Structure 1
């Protein structure tokens, strides 16, 4: 995939950064929702198990999610402040990874919707939707890197 190369101006940086903050915040809502259901269950939220898409122990899952959120918010901040330098090589790598991740995430959802007796992993809707959010985060970073001029390729 080829994007026209232009040097990102301040408004581009703000737009990309705001989208990254939005996607990170959506993921944060999922992490907080599951944590609330683990420690202080609320009837208004889905059950704790509905947030779980794997058999990872919750302590490990939460640790991984917190590390991911730290990375996501740091990337959004670095991009918005101009500290993240565009790099076409990184952009190509992220585009490949994000495309595969998004395709797999959407395929998971499609199987969950169309296969009547699909395994529970395919019908775990909250984790499935948030994999789409995470893939969108990676793709947004990729597009930022690929649209920039004077890259360090």
Structure 2
């Protein structure tokens, strides 16, 4: 069970302010700000802050091939399984439409707990953002741990 929780935690970690778009890739300011708020909320284990960025119908495809909803992921966060150092988000693609934006890239970090603890991990991701009445919200995420060094 702890391995499942740790793998799930690795799939959903948000970004601190250290998002690094590839040269020529433009991050929409509203989504960049939402990533910043989400990163701070995740690091502080602030469920209300996470809920303000993740849509009520948010889903994540975790590395253990489970599709989980927002409240399931927040429960993992509240169990203190999302601790990393050296976390960076590298943005390689932004596909912006009026109502939906797809962000792709990879995260690098060193997990403090769980699989890969103490080793640098690279995690490719795809995030899907939707424009809702309360602003841009993350509605879906897929992230897979690609390697640990």
Mark yes or no: TM-score above 0.5.
no
Structure having the larger proportion of residues in helix: 1
Specify which structure has the bigger relative contact order, considering alpha-carbon pairs within 8 angstroms and separated by 6 or more residues. 1
Structure having the larger proportion of residues in strand: 2
TM-score with structure 1 setting the length? 0.29
